Structure 1
Amino acid sequence: MRSIKICLSVMLVVLLSPLVNAAALPDFTRLVEKASPGVVNISTVQNRDEVEQASPFGQFQGPNGEQIPEIFRHFFRELPQFRERRREAPQSLGSGFIISDDGYILTNHHVIKDADQVMVRLNDRRELEAEVIGSDERTDVALLKIEADDLPVLELGRSADLKVGEWVLAIGSPFGFDHSVTAGIVSATERALANETYVPFIQTDVAINPGNSGGPLFNLDGEVVGINSQIYTRSGGFMGLSFAIPIDVAMNVAEQLKGRGFVERGWLGVIIQEVNRDLAESFGLPKPAGALVAKVMADSPAGASGLREGDVILSFNGQDVELSSDLPPLVGRIKPGESAEVEIMRNGRRETLDVTIGRLPDEDSLAETHTQQPADSNRLGLTVAPLPKELSDKWNLRSGVIVEQVREGAGARAGLVRGDVITMLNGQQVETIEQFSRLVADLPEGRSVPMRIVRRGSPLFIALKLK
């Protein structure tokens, strides 16, 4: 009798376990019913003689028909299309959402970029022309305005409160299918992507496809916590990695676009690089952390505050800088003219500097020459020569020596190559060949020391270690 009861208990557990698991999963139906009216479809018209279109397989077509691959993809122009030498019909390129009942809408910059006309289709099928109030390429955020009243407005949350593993949901128009819903979890927060300096992205596994661009990402409370912006793909389709702009960042941008039509950001004026294990040892750090200053730009707030090349920035305004990619968003959020505390490691000692943050220049103003790289003498297996004047002028270098030959030794192990310009060794500026030889002679054995070099105009620190 007892064995029969045990068997029945086991059978009940087996039969009920799917129901228990199902009950533990969230029910999105009420969220979708409430939020869907505030999500819009966005299409554009471009008055161009010829428009380049993207292929459907994760490739961009160049001017001569060559295929140019990309990995991080904006996904608003990925349907198969053709070049046309006429005015284009409106194309369903992306999504957006309503943030005020008088018609303000958020979407992505890349959705409306180069558009001559932007059309918004509402949930009730009305189509209205939108005015572009402003657009910011650096954060990929655009603010639109339509003439309508009593519109359904989405509730905004705080992306800063998101936790990894939390459920999130996206609504958008993938491939033109309006108000499609997909769900997943937060995979990571404050994720840095290549060439996306000022956005700490929310990474999710929510299925995102062409047409989701600019649409909202919701938490389980039905609050917008992000704007879907990019995917990681090798094929052109969804692969389980999608990225959203935090709503905290997007709303800060939207308020500036609404108020002045452009976005103002803080600027420190340094070129930075990651700190690896060997560099951390050479700078006296207990672990790899911080942002290593490879170059201080001329007439910059960093230079005025006393920041130097070779300093490692450990925290900014009280917030730790674990990775070099952590620093630009922290600086960008500070209003120009405000002061900030920067904690650094310099010559093995921690110091704190007060910096008055400047205004981030435009891209053209920032396109200036970069800086240097270090080299060695016989102990390093290197042959060096005086820095040629043409390179000094071209790369704006004050001093250094150029590597003419690399033989087997510490220099080769550190990755030095012919043509590198060594500008700093073990915290000392390299002025002449003779002084460089003295610095090399004094190098310790069995411990990494930092070297600053300039390779093809770009500054870089490497760790040099004599055995």
Structure 2
Amino acid sequence: MFESKNAGGWALALVALGLFIGLVMRDLIRKEKPEEGSQTIATMVPPRDRNVDDLTELFERVATQCEPFVVTLQPLSTNDSSFPPLHTQGSGVLMSPDGYILTTAGLVREARQVTATLNNKKTFIGEVLGYDALTGVAVIKISASGLKGIRQGNSEDVRLGQWVVTVGNVAVERHTVTAGIISVKGRANTWLAEPEDLLQTDAVINSHNIGGALVDLQGRLVGINTQVNLPEPVAGISYAIPINMAREVMRHIIAEGKFARGALEIQTQDLSATLARGLRLQDTNGVLVTETKVEGAAARAGLQRGDVIIKFREQQTANMLALRELVASTKPGTTVPISILRAGAEMTLQVTVAESQSAMAAPELEPAASPIRSSHKYGLAVNALTPAFLHKRLLPSNTRGVVVADVLAGSEADLAGMRIGDIVQEWEGKSVVSVKDFRAKMSAAQPGQAVVIFVRREQQNLYCVMEIPALNDAAKNAMP
């Protein structure tokens, strides 16, 4: 009896509590209910992100700070007094109070003068002092008073992932600004200026800001925006000439009118393990000479095809890049020691360095048409050289050898790096004079031998090494 009464009391208490809560909620709802005909709209106002605001203000400040030093350039023709433009206008960077401007060689290489329009709308005629095709740097000089130069940085201090800003000109009074990060820093090299020596960024560099400034977030110039023609361009990737490189080139152009590099006037190739084995070398350190220019610097010093350069100016030359940098940085006319290996013996010669000249693109070779053709032993088929072929390729009529007509994929010849159009001139150091001679030399090769083949490819000479199959594989390559 007692338990039943107690349970009933608890039930009434819970009902009363529920009614009380319901009344309270009803009153609250009535208080919040809008007047008839009105609407309530809930809006979410995100809190201000101070970091984003700070970064935005920083970009704005950098752009404002650098705009006065980025000028609009337009090349002028020297054949007409009206000076019609040769190219679309580009940008340049005012480097100093005495009026020196840096830009890219692609903009001015056909002009002797440009119009340079400053941020204050004043226009001057600028003299093109010179340009360097290899680095892509051009220097212009204007005569004006009250100029200031952009604040300059050190491109060696640039870090991967660092924010950078590009500043250029779409037109007078219209600047273009983009931002991104440094994705590749490049090598510390002034003399060669290949794509791997440049600063790489995802900041957009277009036709308007080429020649303009690449700056860090302190407004310091770290590069000159440029354009690089790559075999396979990558979308979203742009390049800039490191300012340390550009300054050095500018210094030479102002003082000498050009940026002179040293040259040995030779063709070379790196040593692979297979090639070193074929040449009976102990290791791959060194650079193999594949051709010397007649009466060139190397030839006059006594260098020969087949020599391996191991030192230049008493510094190791482990590969072609090391040699090229050492030679390019040597003042033309300087005589320096060069150490080589010849037939396994080391010797030192004295070479007077020449001045580098621009190389011309070579035409692509095609296999010669000839009724004489070897079979595909080791995956290689060759034709005889014909007078028509030699004439078409501007080769001397006394050129000897055979031309590669076909290379089977995955064959010994393919693995050796042979290509259709190669002219095979030597087999194991012996001249190849005909298809019959070539077939005889191939047949005499020993199983397991690494055969050194000297070929002419386009306008370059090089060595290939073909591994002759061992005895258990030789049967499949037997001559028919």
TM-score by length of 2: 0.65
Q: Distance in 1 between matches of 2:284 and 2:54?
A: 44
Q: Structure 1 residue 107: deviation in Å?
A: 0.9
Superposed CA deviations along residues 342-366 of structure 1, whole A, max 9, x for unmatched, are 5666667877665321112466xx7
Count of residue pairs brought into register by the alignment:
408
The aligned counterpart of 1:64 is none
The aligned counterpart of 2:148 is 152
The one-letter code matched in structure 1 to 2:70 is V
The aligned counterpart of 1:304 is 300
The aligned counterpart of 1:171 is 167
The one-letter code matched in structure 1 to 2:205 is I
Q: Structure 1 residue 466: deviation in Å?
A: 0.9
Equivalent residues in 2 for 1:2-13, closer than 5 Å: none
Q: Distance in 2 between matches of 1:447 and 1:22?
A: 70
Equivalent residues in 2 for 1:38-187, closer than 5 Å: 38-46=69-77, 88=84, 93-115=89-111, 118-174=114-170, 177-178=174-175, 180-187=177-184
Q: Distance in 2 between matches of 1:22 and 1:345?
A: 64
Cα contact 2:72–2:171 (8 A) shared by 1:
no
The one-letter code matched in structure 1 to 2:184 is S
Equivalent residues in 2 for 1:426-445, closer than 5 Å: 426=428, 428-430=429-431, 432=433, 440=442, 443=445, 445=447
The aligned counterpart of 1:425 is 427
Q: Structure 1 residue 93: deviation in Å?
A: 1.8
The aligned counterpart of 2:456 is 454
**Between 114-123 and 323-332, the greater mean CA deviation after superposition:** 323-332
Q: Distance in 2 between matches of 1:388 and 1:466?
A: 29
**Aligned with 2:328 (options 332, 351, 376):** 332
RMSD: 5.0
Q: Distance in 2 between matches of 1:320 and 1:46?
A: 48
Q: Mark the CA change 1:181 to 1:124 in structure 2 (over 3 Å): closer, same or farther.
A: farther
Higher strand proportion: 1
Q: Structure 1 residue 251: deviation in Å?
A: 2.6
Cα contact 1:197–1:328 (8 A) shared by 2:
no
Cα contact 2:403–2:421 (8 A) shared by 1:
yes
Q: Distance in 1 between matches of 2:250 and 2:215?
A: 18
The aligned counterpart of 2:30 is none
Who wins on radius of gyration, i.e. which is larger? 2
Q: Structure 1 residue 453: deviation in Å?
A: 0.9
Q: Structure 1 residue 197: deviation in Å?
A: 5.9
Q: Structure 1 residue 318: deviation in Å?
A: 7.1
Cα contact 1:403–1:417 (8 A) shared by 2:
no
Q: Distance in 2 between matches of 1:270 and 1:296?
A: 4
**Aligned with 2:222 (options 203, 222, 225):** 225
TM-score by length of 1: 0.67
Q: Distance in 2 between matches of 1:165 and 1:285?
A: 43
Q: Distance in 1 between matches of 2:242 and 2:84?
A: 33
Gaps of 5+ in 1: 1-14, 50-85
The aligned counterpart of 1:52 is none
**Between 224-233 and 381-390, the greater mean CA deviation after superposition:** 381-390
Cα contact 1:197–1:329 (8 A) shared by 2:
no
Higher-RCO chain (CA-CA 8 Å, sequence separation at least 6): 1
Cα contact 1:132–1:144 (8 A) shared by 2:
yes
The one-letter code matched in structure 2 to 1:430 is S
Q: Distance in 1 between matches of 2:171 and 2:342?
A: 53
Cα contact 2:163–2:179 (8 A) shared by 1:
no
Q: Structure 1 residue 274: deviation in Å?
A: 5.7
The one-letter code matched in structure 1 to 2:465 is A
The aligned counterpart of 2:355 is 359
Q: Mark the CA change 1:166 to 1:406 in structure 2 (over 3 Å): closer, same or farther.
A: same
SS in structure 2 of the partner of residue 173 of structure 1: strand
Cα contact 1:231–1:241 (8 A) shared by 2:
no
Q: Distance in 1 between matches of 2:303 and 2:157?
A: 33
Superposed CA deviations along residues 209-233 of structure 1, whole A, max 9, x for unmatched, are 1211111223455443321111568
Cα contact 2:336–2:351 (8 A) shared by 1:
yes
Superposed CA deviations along residues 299-333 of structure 1, whole A, max 9, x for unmatched, are 12222334433455566557776774665454333
Cα contact 2:407–2:418 (8 A) shared by 1:
no
Q: Distance in 2 between matches of 1:200 and 1:446?
A: 41
Equivalent residues in 2 for 1:278-289, closer than 5 Å: 278-279=274-275, 282=278
The aligned counterpart of 1:395 is 395
